[in-house]
Amino acid sequence: MLGLGLGLGLGLTLTLTLTQPYVELCRLGKCIDNTQLLITDVLALKSVYHKFHCGPITVCNCRQETLNAAELNTSELIELLQKSAVEHLTTHRQLQAEDFGSVATIVTTDFEALYAYKRGDYQRCLLLSMQNVHTLLYATRMANVFTFPMFIHMFDDDIVSLIALTLIIEYRYNPRYNERQLTLSLYLMTKCQLMLRHSVTSLAPTLDYIEVARRRHPALDHLTLKMTERKILTYIT
């Protein structure tokens, strides 16, 4: 009888034989930090455990189990993974601010704002984006928001189309397109105001912010600023 604590507080004692899944479980158990369990740890453990669990079960039961797993709704799992990723990216921003805050202005909630926009929480996204704009507008240096392929699903169609167009046109010179924190914050701020149907009066300061950003930061992503400005003007007229 071999007792194997899985580190998840299950308190289970399993009778295990020295099979390949058991070896994988042992290796995985040594890698998992029980004090700070991550979603990815649970998924990895579940994957290996299913390999062990299906061994002595009949073929019929295994097929039924596989069928039931395939029928499960994965939307909740995707939501948890996205939330976990945003938490890690936010922690990365906080570390950046601690290490490089003396030479650049770095806001730590840009990914939180992007995630709120993706989830349709426009009020929270607007609040975070406005705070970031006020912090970054007169900054001398600021951080980038990397538009790696794994981040694309967090952006809306307009930004994705703009990124694709930029990559097609400038691929030889700029194979990786990035947004500045200020540019993205202005865009999210504008989109949230439009989605929440703000008045023309409340949109006027946003136009002023865009003009100030264009004047003070010549190296900013002017295509994004131009698109943001056009959205406001179209909404007003």
* 165 has a pLDDT exceeding 80: no
* Ordered alpha helix ranges (H), the chain: 20-31, 39-53, 59-71, 75-100, 110-119, 122-136, 157-170, 181-195, 200-216, 222-236
What is the pTM (predicted TM-score) of this model?
0.66
CA-wise closest residue to 163 among 211, 85, 221, 86 = 221
What is the tens place of the pLDDT at every residue in 104-122?
Answer: 999 999 999 999 999 999 9
Is the pLDDT score of 237 beyond 50?
Answer: yes
pLDDT value at residue 58: 40
